[in-house]
Structure 1
Amino acid sequence: MRYERTDLIIGTVTEGLNALVDGRHGDPFSILGRHHYGELTVVRALLPGAVSVEVVERDSGRILATLDNIHAGGLFAGVVGSTTPYLFRIQWPDAVQETEDPYCFAPLLGDLDLHLIAQGTHYDLGRTLGAIPMEVDGISGVRFAVWAPNARRVSVVGDFNAWDGRRHPMRQRPQAGVWELFLPRLTAGERYKFEIIDAHGNVLAQKADPVARASEAAPSTASVVASSRPFAWTDDAWMQRHDARAGEGAMSVYEVHLGSWLRIAEEGNRSLDWVELSQRLVPYVKSLGFTHIEMLPIMEHPFGGSWGYQPLGLFAPTGRYGTPEDFAYFIDRCHASGIGVILDWVPAHFPTDVWGLARFDGSALYEHEDPREGFHKDWNTLIYNLGRNEVKGFLIASALEWLEHFHIDALRVDAVASMLYRDYSRNEGEWIPNQYGGRENWEAVEFFKHLNSIIHDRCPHAFTVAEESTAWPGVTKAPEDGGLGFDFKWNMGWMHDTLHYMSDDPVYRKYHHGMLTFGMIYAYSERFMLPISHDEVVHGKGSLFGKMPGDHWQKLANLRAYFGFMWAHPGKKLLFMGCEIAQESEWNHDGSVVWDLLDRPDHAGMQRLIGDLNRLYSAEPALQFGDLDPAGFEWAVSDDAESSVLGMLRKSRDGSSMVLAVSNLTPLPRHGYRVGVPMEGRWQEVLNTDADVYGGSNLGNVEAWTSADQSHGRPYSVTLTLPPLSTIYLKWSAA
């Protein structure tokens, strides 16, 4: 075949040439890079703004050719008399740059990767899509890859190409709808986004990378190339622990919004960074005896006022507190201190910001097209399309990123109820029934079953917690038995009932006694965690202190009694930051916990009580076994509504250890109060929320001995002094 030299140098018809230089060509590799036509070798480069371009032999530095500027839009081309590896020497108006040609590299993503991505079963997306530093053919650089199946053209843009979408159009891998490009000589720390032209030819707002592993701190919105160098973990022994999922031991969780736990007023009221949190938050949590820290979402999110619950970077720790390496260091320090880390994770919805996931490639890619399925009116957010395999795979890969690569111990899944019901917070006509005409979202059900099965298979150290506020059956039942597969569920009903009871004036509590006992009717229907969370101290709800009736002393006494009741009640414990010092004001995410309250002995006493409750809980098997097994719990007193007294008997697995907890929820001290017990012996008071060290009146019992008098249907009894507004704990011994 005879080739016209000029035509070969240009390499395309005028229409294709214009599309390329305008940044609208969907197959840049067909024109750019090195191409062989018989014995003729042509190299083309698109470098808008360049003055001149030389092709240089990589090994020797010998100039192979000076490319002609064949189009004013920055297309350079020329014949090169060599097939050896080469690089470009580019003369810019103010600098000279040497770099390899991105369009001389072969496709990098393998067929198996593409198959798994399309199937929605590639669970290591954080190391496949996104920006991955690597070496190709001996050249270091960054491979970019993004899922955008309905795009006409995708380019990677950043500081390295002046954010010019014409410079680096990507190669399409149509079998998976993925676009990829290797950019030589880039390193970790580079800022980047994707510029996409949709199927209709519209240039979209530049998009952040959905699988970015690092991001700029808000309000900036660029993704950042994260390092691929493994973190030097020191928690191997910790990661071999598999006891948390079983749930038999103590689990006491300190829930924290990192940005407002402690601010440095002298430095512009800034938040602590990851290293500072490891130095201050971790020892604090350890000193109070909590077993876990639960962080409100730290995935990158644009609006701080969402507290992280409207995330866009599901693979990236927020840049607000430092680098991903700093985040890993924080987790490592938690584990070194014997503290597990629970991370709030949000697969229920995402914000509508144009640079995020919304209509990512010009189509409803991650969300539903129909707003009756794809839009949350309550939160002004979009809903993931769980009927699409790639979206399910994206979310599961995000979960595994935190558990496997960042050694997170558990995920608390937010807003599960909103995912399970198609009519969640919707009026008639605003939702689409399922295929059977019902309100259940079966795609979400299958997603949760799949998610939890994979987590339990791949991450034996990890467990999952559902924030689910309805009576959906089997939330913590195994998927093979028809359940959703979570390990624990927040007991929202217990929280609402008990806080409502405690907010009543004690004179009226006898009429609502069932609010404290009702939770035990269903306490073992799921594996429950008792949550006093951030949701109870925001949006005008006031503080826990503010919910309590009475004067200042009574408010604190009520709250101490309530915490005593909570720690004695079956179920794992969770407490939001600031509650442990009885913060008087509502939580403000732009402020800080009011630590000055610790200058007051009564508030410092509340903090001491929480620490002592945690230590007693961890030390006593009797307070742990009944959390999940009904054999470990009995009501000692459940029917004394008139006196507003409740008694709980907690037992260890073998029955050798018993703890009796009695709550008097009126301001009247009760002397000579008889409680039936199953065994004779000595009952030693081991904790009293009315003790003076906690700010109480110091009324109580040193010890009590059983008598043969029957009471409450039991053969023995103890006679107690019940302090006002208190909970007391007594431990049994045979002698």
Structure 2
Amino acid sequence: MEPAPTLPDAVIDALLQGRLADPFGVLGPHRDEHGVVVRAIAPGAESVSLADRAGKPITAASPMTAMTALHPGGVFAGRLPDAEPPKPGDYRLLIRWPDGNEQCSADPYAFGLLLGDLDLHLLNEGRHLELGNCLGAQCLTVDGEAGVRFAVWAPNAQRVSVIADFNGWNPVRHPMRLRHGAGIWELFIPEALGAHGGSRYKYDIIGAHGHALPDKADPVALATEPPPATASVVACRGHGAPPFQWNDQAWMDKRARTDPYAAPMSVYELHAMSWQRAANDTAQGWEILADRLVPYIRDLGFTHIELLPITEHPFGGSWGYQPLSLFAPTSRLGPPEQFAAFVDRCHQADIGVILDWVPAHFPTDPHGLAEFDGTALYEHQDPREGFHQDWNTLIYNLGRNEVRGFLLAGAVHWLEQFHADALRVDAVASMLYRDYSREPGQWVPNRFGGRENLEAVAFLRDLNTIVHERCPGALTIAEESTAWPGVTASVASGGLGFDFKWNMGWMHDSLRYLSQNPIHRPWHHNELTFGLVYAWSEAFVLPLSHDEVVHGKGSMIGKAPGDDWQRFANLRAYYGFMWTHPGKKLLFMGGEFAQWREWNHDEELDWPLLDQPLHRGVHSLVRDLNRLYRELPALHALDHRPEGFQWIVGDDHQNSVFAYLRRAAPDSQEVVLVVVNMTPVPREGYRLGVPFAGDWEECLNTDAGYYGGSNLGNGGRVEAANAASHGQPASVTLTLPPLATLVLRYKPDGPPG
């Protein structure tokens, strides 16, 4: 009879203390001079036996069928009758627990290497763009055994274990194997041990200096448990449940062949958790949100929605801008498949979905990425490079291949796995400048001694190149508030490669003008005209975003001066100016019906205001502006080119009147005349040059009684005479309503005068 297997006391102690760096060197099947010995660790187990696939003892007469307890802490060993180490499925571990439960499972430590050499090579180079299918918790069948493969990057850790609800959160039970060179720890845990979709888990890590770290959530988790809980959740797609079935192929095909610059883009930005709240004042789930939001957006005529970051984030007050799980939609609104269904519903209603995405920084929560393996792994070690003073967050080390690859794969994940149509990249300015919001001595120059962050520039160019190569029709949009040149220029021409950039200058200038008492506006006239000086230097989005209705800035209606009537008239005229100005449009929720109070992320919008005529009038105006913007090519086809815009009157400071033409093509008769009167004084007989004599339809008047205005205007149409004015061969004489925008469209087939 072969001697009973043993282990040195020091190895047993290391196992039970969770400090054994190479558990596969001890656990599982191993050949020694007497045959094959199998060792297992099951703290708290009553007994462990070797069994066949059916759970029967492998050799009924052999005393070695029941494994020997090498230590009362739960280390067991036994022998197999075979001379060669078995395959993973050749035997089972039959574990009996004191409560009478039994587990009969393949041995996690009988499986060979899990990740392939190509995976590891691409991970090292930062070029593995499918991390969501590689790292994290993946439901797989390995050697005929169903279970979950866990894999995490922690190159400087001394030991990493999977801790989960299925192993009692015990770090001794499932220590992982290190793939040297790549720094990846991996372990396959069979389903029979409780690892399956819905399991909660984290990683227990002994750091680089031998100290136990706070339990870490999975950086590549595909799902999480709802905050304030912090565990990752196994999300099985296609294993035990069918993969999500998309129904948006028509949308995806159309998106791929659409020219985004010539197409209308009107974006409704929203915070999904506070748009509407449930009866118990909690966030609505994705299913209810789809039922209510999709028809609402379709009725208002917005072409896209933009969601504040829905990547999982620990603190709701960050609005998602301090995320930790860049591959997981927030569990506050439901599981990942419900978010996919939400996007699918939007696409079927012809609504695009833009996601805010945050690669600039991450929070310092102990369960997150900070010092993930006991070292500055994802972040810079030097706080002059790695700490955001404004937000008390950490900055990604974009000079490290694996970190850059982690972020690039995260971006691709949302576009490919969830069919997102665009990523709006947050805080780009903070990425581009090493001295962003820092005083002299608080930042580190680049290798040439400059302030530009060269690693961030390279990352953003890679991001935009990869997105445009892999995701036909998907867009990238930069929130960038400086004069960095070529944000939307192609990478080939030396630009950053974004499709669009938020026009922060236009937003600041125009809102400053809006806030002025009309009597003072003549001295601020250029605040509405200056944006046209640089309007075609980039491809712009005009953003009235969430940032403009928080932190004491007041609501949109609150920015307008005067009594209530003048406030609403000012806002309506301003929206008319915005929707007819070159550039795509973005409006944050609540602005569409002139909510009085600032946005509060813990409260839903003030929906009862829609029952009040002035608020309902703004709502109706936004609907009509979106309709007109979509229907009239002159308002969108040449958004990005100067041929689509021409001043008629841009210098009438005294009367605060602005007039301009919008064109669909340089020589087209698709021409729109826009006239904006930003004083409460009606103006009779105001003459303006136009390119064509004949009929001009007054297709929108923000002073219409339907919107809550005084109903002054031009009766729906005017006749342009063959009398030159303002450098144009014809002219019209108009009545300009107070605090109003008029939109007139040339009708070449209109009735004779």
2:162 maps to what in 1? 156
1:92 maps to what in 2? 97
Quick one: distance in 1 between partners of 2:92 and 2:624?
A: 67
Alignment of structure 1 residues 120-269 onto 2, 5 Å: 120-185=126-191, 186-229=195-238, 230-240=243-253, 241-244=255-258, 246-264=260-278, 267-269=279-281
2:701 maps to what in 1? 688
Alignment of structure 1 residues 510-589 onto 2, 5 Å: 510-589=522-601
Alignment of structure 1 residues 208-607 onto 2, 5 Å: 208-229=217-238, 230-240=243-253, 241-244=255-258, 246-264=260-278, 267-607=279-619
Moved more, 176-185 or 650-659: 650-659
Residue identity in the other structure for 2:79: V
* 1:45 matches 2:59: no
- 1:4–1:25 CA distance, 2 compared to 1 (3 A): farther
Residue identity in the other structure for 2:329: P
Q: Secondary structure at the match of 1:408?
A: coil
Post-superposition offset of 1:349: 0.3
Moved more, 51-60 or 252-261: 51-60
Residue identity in the other structure for 2:110: C
2:24 maps to what in 1? 29
1:111 maps to what in 2? 117
Post-superposition offset of 1:72: 2.4
Q: Secondary structure at the match of 2:498?
A: coil
Q: Secondary structure at the match of 1:391?
A: helix
Q: Secondary structure at the match of 2:224?
A: coil
The alignment yields a C-alpha RMSD, in angstroms, of 1.2
Residue identity in the other structure for 2:6: I
Post-superposition offset of 1:73: 2.1
**Contact between 1:347 and 1:413, CA under 8 Å: does it hold in 2?**
yes
Post-superposition offset of 1:97: 1.7
Residue identity in the other structure for 1:28: P
**Contact between 1:689 and 1:696, CA under 8 Å: does it hold in 2?**
yes
Cα deviation 1:669-701 (Å, max 9, x = unaligned): 001000111111211100000001100000001
> Paired residues, what number?
728
Cα deviation 1:61-90 (Å, max 9, x = unaligned): 234410111012210012222447111111
Aligned-pair identity in percent equals: 60
- 1:245–1:375 CA distance, 2 compared to 1 (3 A): farther
Quick one: distance in 2 between partners of 1:562 and 1:433?
A: 43
Q: Secondary structure at the match of 2:697?
A: strand
Cα deviation 1:159-199 (Å, max 9, x = unaligned): 01100001000011012100000000121100000000012
2:62 maps to what in 1? none
**Contact between 2:268 and 2:589, CA under 8 Å: does it hold in 1?**
yes
Q: Secondary structure at the match of 1:272?
A: coil
Cα deviation 1:105-124 (Å, max 9, x = unaligned): 11110000000001110000
1:717 maps to what in 2? 731
**Contact between 1:569 and 1:648, CA under 8 Å: does it hold in 2?**
no
Quick one: distance in 1 between partners of 2:32 and 2:204?
A: 32
**Contact between 2:703 and 2:712, CA under 8 Å: does it hold in 1?**
yes
Unaligned runs of 5+ residues in structure 1 are: none
Post-superposition offset of 1:4: 8.9
Post-superposition offset of 1:148: 0.3
Residue identity in the other structure for 2:74: G
- 1:10–1:196 CA distance, 2 compared to 1 (3 A): same
Residue identity in the other structure for 1:234: N
Post-superposition offset of 1:708: 2.4
Residue identity in the other structure for 2:673: L
Quick one: distance in 2 between partners of 1:96 and 1:708?
A: 95
**Contact between 2:261 and 2:638, CA under 8 Å: does it hold in 1?**
no
Post-superposition offset of 1:268: 1.8
Post-superposition offset of 1:666: 0.1
Residue identity in the other structure for 1:316: A
Residue identity in the other structure for 1:66: A
**Contact between 2:704 and 2:710, CA under 8 Å: does it hold in 1?**
yes
Post-superposition offset of 1:306: 0.2
Q: Secondary structure at the match of 1:287?
A: helix
Q: Secondary structure at the match of 1:261?
A: coil
Residue identity in the other structure for 1:88: L
Post-superposition offset of 1:243: 4.6
Quick one: distance in 2 between partners of 1:39 and 1:202?
A: 38
Post-superposition offset of 1:714: 1.6
Q: Secondary structure at the match of 1:66?
A: coil
Quick one: distance in 2 between partners of 1:638 and 1:77?
A: 88
Post-superposition offset of 1:704: 1.0
Q: Secondary structure at the match of 1:226?
A: coil
**Contact between 2:675 and 2:742, CA under 8 Å: does it hold in 1?**
yes
Match of 2:10 among 3, 6, 15: 15
Q: Secondary structure at the match of 2:688?
A: strand
Moved more, 708-717 or 283-292: 708-717
Residue identity in the other structure for 2:454: W
**Contact between 1:245 and 1:462, CA under 8 Å: does it hold in 2?**
no
**Contact between 1:245 and 1:487, CA under 8 Å: does it hold in 2?**
no
Quick one: distance in 1 between partners of 2:428 and 2:720?
A: 48
1:71 maps to what in 2? 71
Cα deviation 1:542-588 (Å, max 9, x = unaligned): 10111100001100000000000000100000000000000000000
Residue identity in the other structure for 1:269: D
Moved more, 38-47 or 502-511: 38-47
Residue identity in the other structure for 1:54: S
Quick one: distance in 2 between partners of 1:514 and 1:297?
A: 35
Cα deviation 1:207-244 (Å, max 9, x = unaligned): 00000000011111000000222210001111122255
Cα deviation 1:321-362 (Å, max 9, x = unaligned): 001000000000000000000000000000000000000000
Residue identity in the other structure for 1:107: L
**Contact between 2:55 and 2:104, CA under 8 Å: does it hold in 1?**
no
**Contact between 1:213 and 1:316, CA under 8 Å: does it hold in 2?**
yes
Post-superposition offset of 1:648: 1.7
Residue identity in the other structure for 2:183: G
Match of 1:657 among 670, 678, 687: 670
Quick one: distance in 2 between partners of 1:605 and 1:620?
A: 22
Moved more, 226-235 or 338-347: 226-235
Quick one: distance in 1 between partners of 2:163 and 2:237?
A: 20
Quick one: distance in 2 between partners of 1:192 and 1:656?
A: 64
What's the TM-score once normalised by structure 1's chain length?
0.98
Alignment of structure 1 residues 618-629 onto 2, 5 Å: 618-629=630-641
